[in-house]
A and B are shown apart, each in its own frame.
Chain A
């Protein structure tokens, strides 16, 4: 599909504006998502994180500006064409197809792969099942009957199976039990070692910082900071996200490791 030209930017946004009706939500965003790294988008509720992701996906139309996937201008493409070009999604709330079986979900996830190259599907399916043996056990089961953690695994696999260039992940940890969040983090960290480009929106800042190599802060539909996550110190986070007392404990809190440090009654306010 792409030519041999090496690009260091997997996804590039220039001056992107979007919104609903008379309300502008995204005000001229410039964003470079580097190849082979995990980029996190952080911000307060209503800053426009999920809308930005939807604009990149093509579900919300771009009013002005351009979006490039690799070297291709995808600004005007339909969402499914962007998928065919190598974009994959782990939607918010996981959104597995409840009436289809696990394997049928995966087959739908591989829709554009199977149209390109049907022969590689079996290999990729086997890979997914090796990574998530649990899914192999439940291949014939309707996805709606899976537990939350299994649905999360299915949602991630459904994106990976299509051999994407970039995966857009929207709030993966929301609504998951701490132990599952931890499993999911391990899965995603493992995926990261494959050198896959990921763009992540995450409210759980600890989770996001563990996973992301670089991050950008979105505020009122504008990017106000971007850079390496290591440079994102507590002060800056506290300033922009209001991370305060409740989550200011050690990193494991909120990732499910809280129990190990228990009893944590000492943290209770008096």
Chain B
């Protein structure tokens, strides 16, 4: 039972990354390699606000999210906006540039020292099904549920949200209906930034320290989740996150082979290959 519960918690955080990847992919057919790294860099803002300015974790969290949104907006304005007609692989390379930039800034400013960020809630927790789930994990589950629901509602029930969805269907036709292509693009990248920051904030307590590239596993999990979900549906990304989280937790719990270092990585590859062989339509996706 324990792996499943832990898997659901990690998986829901993967789902946030997967939502960001899927949203950007739907809107602009670009795979965003920086989806987890933006939040990793901005987490240092949280550290600075809480440890140096002695503000609460929540203030620090807002600082991180705001900084991530700002990075998303600047990147969209200066890079993505100029690449509307560029091949999509080239735009993906631009996001590799953003990824490198985030890593480079982390290395330049913060390498060599271990940064520790206390968790948002220091004690408390409730057991479910015989598994102890601490307060931070509850917080993660709650935040993910609220964020995903809010995003879904925004897209479905507001004019701007509908314009975003229409633009995902057909950007030129949406533009011909008056949907503001530039602001839609800005929105998707800002949202991707915010999702990145939130996901890193939520997963940080399980890692415990900040270091450049410390959350690479988050990107791998999120990308796998997005692809398992079919890259085209937001609910699919969510379910994909849970599936990947649970699968990974099960592997960690039951499959450890001493002679092969980091065997769980190998196990994940084998699982992915098996899923692709046995369920070729993807876990949720349809073939058509």
Residues of A that sit less than 8 Å from B by CB: 57, 59, 78-80, 83-84, 89, 91, 95, 97-100, 104-105, 107-109, 111-112, 114-115, 158, 162
Range class of the B interface residue count? 10 to 19
| Contact A111/B177 with A100-B162, A104-B162 known, Cβ cut-off 8 Å | yes
Q: Which residues of B contact A79 (CB under 8 A)?
A: 175-176, 181
Q: Which residues in B have their C-beta under 8 angstroms from that of A59?
A: 172, 175-176
- Interface pairs (19), CB distance under 8 Å: A57-B176, A59-B172, A59-B175, A78-B175, A78-B181, A79-B175, A83-B178, A84-B178, A95-B173, A95-B176, A97-B166, A97-B170, A99-B165, A100-B169, A104-B165, A107-B159, A108-B163, A108-B177, A162-B177
Whether the Cβ atoms of A108 and B174 lie closer than 8 Å is yes
A158 to B169, CA, bound (A): 16
Give the interface centre of B163, B166, B181 by most chain A CB atoms within 10 Å.
B166
B169 touches A80 (CB 8 A): no
* A100-B165, A100-B166 known; A111 vs B178 contact (CB < 8 Å): yes
Task: Establish whether residues B165 and A80, one from each chain, have CB atoms under 8 Å apart when the complex forms.
Answer: no
Q: Which residues of B contact A158 (CB under 8 A)?
A: 177
The A contact surface, by secondary structure, is helix
Docked-complex contact B169 and A162, CB < 8 angstroms: no
Point out the residues of chain A lying under 8 angstroms from B162, CB to CB.
100, 104, 107-108
Q: Does B179 contact A (CB under 8 A)?
A: yes
The residue from B159, B168, B170, B179 contacting A80, defined by CB atoms under 8 A apart? B179
Q: B180: CB under 8 A from chain A?
A: yes
Which A residues touch B175, using CB under 8 A?
59, 78-80, 83
In the bound assembly, the distance between CA atoms of A91 and B171 in angstroms comes to 13
Q: Are B165 and A83 in contact (CB under 8 A)?
A: no
- Chain B residues, Cβ within 8 Å of A95: 170, 173, 176
Report if A89-B177 is in contact (Cβ < 8 Å); known contacts: A108-B162, A111-B159. Answer: yes
Q: Are A111 and B163 in contact (CB under 8 A)?
A: yes
- Taking each of B163, B166, B176, which has the highest tally of chain A beta carbons within 10 Å of its own beta carbon? B176
A80-B166 in contact given A95-B173, A97-B174 (Cβ < 8 Å): no
CB proximity of B83 to chain A, nearest CB, Å: 16
Beta-carbon contact of A80 and B181 below 8 Å: yes
Alpha-carbon distance between A104 and B169 when the two chains are bound, in angstroms: 13
Chain B residues in 8 Å Cβ range of A114: 159
- Rounded to whole angstroms, the CA-CA distance of A98 and B170 in the bound complex is 9
Contact digits for B162-204, partner A, Cβ 8 Å, 1 yes 0 no: 1101101110111111111110000000000000000000000
